[in-house]
Structure 1
Amino acid sequence: MKYFIFSVFFCCQLLDITAGSEKRGLVHRLEEYKCGDFDTLSGIVWWYDYRNDISYFLNHDDCSTSLDYNTTIGYVPMVWGAQDNPHIQSDSTYCLGFNEPNHPNQANLTSEAAAAGWRELEAAANGIKLVSPSASECGGPSCIDSTKGWFDGFFSECANCTIDFIATHTYMCDAEKVMSILEDLYTTYNKTVWLTEFACGKIEHPELMLIFMKQILPLLEAADYVYRYSWYKGRIPYSNNGTAYVTPAASLLEPNGTNLTTLGEFYTTYQYGDTVNFGDISIPVVYPSGVINETAAQQNVTEGTTKAEVEAIFDVYDYNPTVWWKVLHSIRSRFNDMPWQVGAFYMTVPKIDAKVRIKAIFKIFWCINLSHILDDNLA
């Protein structure tokens, strides 16, 4: 097997910020908790578990000694869905609103129903700062509305409500796209953002999850329109692999242990201004039978190409794309079928370099010149 090397070096400049993050949090539920987790997660400043009070967590904690979760690491309650006379932990500074209200399998609220429920929440808050419901994209037709469509209705129905921040979730693997979405929410609704769930959805390669995290943390820390963010999640058991949208590759803690994963080490120790280096990545050359012929291999024309990569490109071209993002999206959707180094290439190089590679693959296999795909739609 042959290899070629490409190097990717990414860094952020220090802007007089040397203290630990004031934004960084995580989702950590009792169902996945192990004794000592919060000692291990020392770089986290806040957390939540989808409940409106920490008492459930404390009352069901089987550890012989319990960390004072509420003061050492700031606990933030959530009122998960609309309720009459909701209870909120009284000593809280913040409270998170309804969870993914535009998703049928989550809070499942129209904007009108959410506005009615919000007035109940507002009355119970008694001065606690309120973070909006976390409307989020769901990637299918089953959602009540799109993220912004739902928020438009909610803010219209709740024009006189107290809503201090806006929240959303995202599982996109494109850090720049995520930041664009967050900035758009801030610009549209004039409220700083809590990103209360995020990870790289469906990715099974821990190496690619780490690359995504290295790309997005500096952006989240630098953005003045992002108030707080929360990784999903503290621990993801191996039993979830293959059944959950977020795989154990996103786990900050060992799925079946008590130590931090490599991902967790980066998440808990990264400080804004640290140099982030992706290092040298070797892409294995794979010559699958019937896809890449021996002549091409001998000529090194298809260096680093894999069968899944070729199929992803061909499938979307067969769908007659007119914009580049469709090609790149098809490739990203098959990262789990490729060596992680190939996914790393597409995640880290400038999109113009990815385009050069895609054009070369088309020319080699199908003798097609891709000049008709619109360059100005590469996004």
Structure 2
Amino acid sequence: MLHGPGQVGDFQKNVKAGFSNAVLGFNEPNQSGQSVMSPGEAIGLWRQYIQPLKSQGYTLVSPACTNAPSGLTWQRDFVNGCSGCNIDAIATHFYGTDAQALIDHLVQYHNAFGRNIWLTEYACQDFSGRNQQCSPDKTASFMRTTQAFMESQSWMSHYAYFGVLFNQNLGGVDPVNRLIYDNSYPTNLGKQYLGI
């Protein structure tokens, strides 16, 4: 992922090292504290650093907006404004405590863009300020319901629960979402996610 304009050098090193055959656009460009850029700025960076990688065989995946209402608007402006760009799939993030709301979000994005969806971050997490976090049982149910849905959709290319790669720092996400203990063994939720 080219996280944002400040990470171009690292991004180019990673591309040169050949770590992946897919490139993702910017991280939560519609969200304060993240890559924060207008669709126009993102289109310029996409054309300069990401679009040329298509000819090298890379799958090009859109920026990953949040599930805030501004995310869909931002993504539409980006896709509509990036004429001639190859955008092979649409990435998105979701944080919330309602499994059906996540399902509705994914369907909305698929219907809006007609492309495969990559859910590159999600968790049973309340960021509304009401601090109504999920219990362990609700988190397990949230994951079970949403995974079953995503596994049944041909247009859901990839999904990654937020706690999959993070041991120490969950970036403000409630520890109930943690998939890996400090010793790198999976938590019960991690075992559920992996199907073991």
What's the TM-score bracket when you normalise by the shorter of the two chains?
A: 0.7 to 0.9
| Partner of residue 137, structure 1 | 67
Question: What is the CA distance between 1:148 and its match in structure 2?
Answer: 1.6
1:268 and 2:194 are equivalent in the alignment = yes
- Give distance in 2, aligned partners of 1:163 and 1:200: 28
| Partner of residue 93, structure 2 | 169
1:80 and 2:80 are equivalent in the alignment = no
- Give distance in 2, aligned partners of 1:92 and 1:257: 27
| Partner of residue 113, structure 1 | 41
Distance 1:248 1:91, change over 3 A: closer
Q: Structure 2 regions of 5+ residues with no counterpart?
A: 127-132
Question: What is the CA distance between 1:196 and its match in structure 2?
Answer: 0.2
- Give distance in 2, aligned partners of 1:175 and 1:84: 35
Query: Which structure shows the bigger proportion of residues in helix conformation?
Result: 2
TM-score by length of 2: 0.84
TM-score by length of 1: 0.45
Mapped contact 2:3–2:25 kept (Cα < 8 A)? yes
Mapped contact 1:201–1:245 kept (Cα < 8 A)? no
Question: What is the CA distance between 1:100 and its match in structure 2?
Answer: 0.5
Secondary structure of the 2:91 match is strand
Question: What is the CA distance between 1:236 and its match in structure 2?
Answer: 4.5
- Give distance in 2, aligned partners of 1:177 and 1:190: 19
| Partner of residue 120, structure 2 | 196
The ranges of structure 1 where at least 4 consecutive aligned residues each deviate by more than 4 angstroms after the TM superposition are 83-86
1:44-193, aligned counterparts within 5 Å? 78-82=1-5, 87=12, 88=15, 89-90=17-18, 92-120=20-48, 121-125=50-54, 126-138=56-68, 146-193=70-117
Question: What is the CA distance between 1:263 and its match in structure 2?
Answer: 0.5
Mapped contact 1:183–1:225 kept (Cα < 8 A)? no
Q: Deviation digits for residues 66-99 of structure 1, max 9, x if unmatched?
A: xxxxxxxxxxxx1111366851243622111110
Question: What is the CA distance between 1:177 and its match in structure 2?
Answer: 1.8
Instruction: Write the letter of the residue equivalent to 2:146.
Output: I
Mapped contact 1:79–1:96 kept (Cα < 8 A)? yes
Instruction: Write the letter of the residue equivalent to 1:209.
Output: T
Q: Deviation digits for residues 293-315 of structure 1, max 9, x if unmatched?
A: xxxxxxxxxxxxxxxxxxxxxxx
Mapped contact 2:179–2:189 kept (Cα < 8 A)? yes
| Partner of residue 230, structure 1 | 160
Secondary structure of the 1:229 match is strand
Question: What is the CA distance between 1:182 and its match in structure 2?
Answer: 0.9
- Give distance in 2, aligned partners of 1:260 and 1:156: 41
Mapped contact 2:67–2:105 kept (Cα < 8 A)? no
Mapped contact 1:94–1:128 kept (Cα < 8 A)? yes
| Partner of residue 257, structure 1 | 183
1:306-321, aligned counterparts within 5 Å? none
Q: Structure 1 regions of 5+ residues with no counterpart?
A: 1-77, 139-144, 271-379
Instruction: Write the letter of the residue equivalent to 1:151.
Output: Q
| Partner of residue 210, structure 1 | 140
Question: What is the CA distance between 1:264 and its match in structure 2?
Answer: 0.8
Mapped contact 1:165–1:191 kept (Cα < 8 A)? yes
Mapped contact 2:2–2:8 kept (Cα < 8 A)? no
**Identity rate, percent:** 29
